[in-house]
Amino acid sequence: MKPIFIAGPCVIESMDCLEEVARELVRLRDKYDLDIYFKASFDKANRTSLSSFRGPGMEQGLQMMADIREKYQLPLVTDIHESQQAEPVGQVVDVIQIPAFLCRQTDLLVAAAKTGKPVNIKKAQFLSGVDMQYPVEKCRESGAVDVWLTERGNMYGYNNLVVDFRNIPDMKRWTQRVIMDCTHSVQRPGAGGGKTSGNREFVPAMAMAAKAFGANGYFFEIHPNPDEALSDGPNMLYLNDFENVLKELIK
pLDDT tops 90 at residue 32: yes
* C-alpha span between 194 and 6 (Å, rounded): 28
Please state the rounded mean pLDDT for residues 67-88: 98
Q: Which residues contact 91 (CB under 8 A, 6 or more apart)?
A: none
pLDDT confidence tier of residue 159, bands split at 50, 70 and 90: confident
pLDDT in tens, 195-210: 466 788 999 999 999 9
Q: How far is CA 89 from the centre of its chain?
A: 15
Give residue 52's pLDDT: 81
Residue 160's CB is within 10 A of a number of other CB atoms, namely 16
pLDDT in tens, 82-123: 999 999 999 999 999 999 999 999 999 999 999 999 999 999
Domains, the chain, in order of start with CATH, read 4-249 (3.20.20.70)
* Sign of torsion over alpha carbons 223, 60, 70, 184: positive
Q: The whole model's pTM is what?
A: 0.94
* C-alpha span between 64 and 28 (Å, rounded): 22
The answer for 35, left when phi > 0, alpha when psi is -120 to 50, beta otherwise, is: beta
Residue 156's CB is within 10 A of a number of other CB atoms, namely 12
pLDDT in tens, 123-149: 999 999 999 999 999 999 999 999 999
pLDDT tops 80 at residue 247: yes
pLDDT tops 60 at residue 226: yes
pLDDT in tens, 42-62: 998 876 778 788 889 999 999
Looking at residue 160, its amino acid is: N
Give residue 158's pLDDT: 86
pLDDT tops 80 at residue 191: no
